[in-house]
């Protein structure tokens, strides 16, 4: 067992899979010699060399086009799109090609590839470099969508993504890169589509993703001082979506609160809320409450960005509105 940062866990997870499988290759802008713009891939080039780690031109279309072609011809590429906002300039390849090739070839062509990307706010990068876009990917049939909250899950879920036969979009929340956590020794392989219950309580079910998970846990600590004990679930994956774990908890608590960094309109919590309302209505003893970022471009100013994103106080208030 070793403690490592979220950013170091990225490099650790990539290296684990590249050591295991010679068909795994890695490509992206500045991912090799520079170790990544967020220093999340330091040492990977030194370990595996320029025949398996490729620094690409500044072209997201070229990166994903190369990754798709490599996957179609027997490799298992990991491609990096530096900021998730930049999916906007290569979305045709993601949504119309990667997501649909297996379906349109009746399974004759599979695309075992992973697209990693720095996602979300909290780092003062402004409206064009701070978006939380996991709901973009969730809306496209044919993609699997992962967003880990801690170093151990980074390694385990990345391994599961690399070994999957479908394209996986793997979101790394940028403000989590310096955070630390325990990572077990040896090979780590997790399971896509399985949420984790981090804390149990009978008053409400709080479901969070990525950077919102530690904030939800801090809110749970504060609520406990008021006698309100909540269950906290780290959703981890949006596709496959682990509705069973959430529904089982809601049946026990009677209340659901989602904590979403994405803008409110059409966020992942809206889909989860609609499923619970349709399938588990009579388990609910109060309103479903969504704590989200408002439907606005994310500001660059420190105070404004902090005000826009869900914080502990807003999560606490959301739980109170659900249960009281």
Active site residues: 129
Do 192 and 146 touch, CB atoms closer than 8 A? yes
Angle between helices 312-323 and 212-224 (to 10 degrees): 60
Give bridge partners of residue 208 from the DSSP assignment: 234, 259
User: Structure tokens of 257?
Assistant: 């609160």
- The rounded distance, in Å, linking the Cα atoms of 9 and 152 is 7
Exposure letters 18-55 (e unless 16+ CB within 10 A, then b)? beeeebbbbbbbbbbeebbbbebbbebbeebeeebbbe
Q: What is the DSSP letter of 74?
A: T
Conformational region of residue 197, where left means phi above 0, alpha means psi within -120 to 50, and beta covers everything else:
beta
Do 145 and 166 touch, CB atoms closer than 8 A? no
């Amino acid at each position: 067992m070793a403690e490592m940062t979220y950013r170091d866990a990225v490099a650790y997870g990539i290296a684990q899979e590249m050591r295991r499988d010679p068909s795994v290759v890695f490509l992206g802008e500045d991912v090799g010699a520079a170790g990544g713009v967020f220093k999340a891939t330091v040492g990977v080039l030194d370990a595996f060399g320029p025949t398996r780690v490729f620094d690409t031109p500044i072209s997201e279309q070229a990166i994903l086009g190369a990754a798709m072609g490599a996957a179609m011809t027997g490799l298992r590429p990991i491609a990096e799109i530096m900021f998730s906002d930049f999916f906007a300039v290569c979305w045709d390849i993601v949504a119309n090609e990667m997501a649909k090739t297996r379906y349109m070839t009746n399974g004759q062509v599979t695309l075992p590839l992973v697209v990693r990307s720095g996602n979300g706010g909290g780092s003062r990068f402004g409206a064009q470099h701070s978006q939380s876009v996991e709901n973009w990917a969730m809306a496209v049939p044919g993609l699997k969508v992962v967003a880990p909250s801690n170093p151990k899950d980074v390694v385990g879920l990345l391994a599961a993504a690399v070994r999957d036969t479908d394209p996986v979009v793997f979101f790394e929340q940028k403000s989590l890169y310096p955070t630390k956590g325990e990572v077990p020794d040896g090979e780590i392989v997790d399971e896509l589509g399985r949420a984790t219950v981090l804390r149990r309580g009978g008053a409400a079910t709080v479901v969070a993703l990525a950077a919102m998970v530690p904030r939800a846990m801090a809110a749970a600590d504060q609520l406990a001082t008021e006698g309100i004990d909540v269950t906290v679930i780290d959703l981890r994956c949006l596709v496959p979506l682990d509705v069973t774990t959430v529904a089982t908890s809601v049946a026990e608590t009677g209340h659901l609160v989602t904590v979403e960094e994405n803008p409110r309109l059409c966020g992942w919590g809206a889909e989860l809320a609609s499923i619970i309302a349709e399938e588990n209505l009579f388990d609910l003893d109060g309103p479903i409450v969504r704590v989200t970022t408002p439907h606005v471009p994310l500001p660059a100013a420190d105070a404004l960005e902090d005000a826009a994103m869900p914080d502990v106080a807003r999560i606490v208030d959301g739980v109170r509105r659900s249960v009281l």
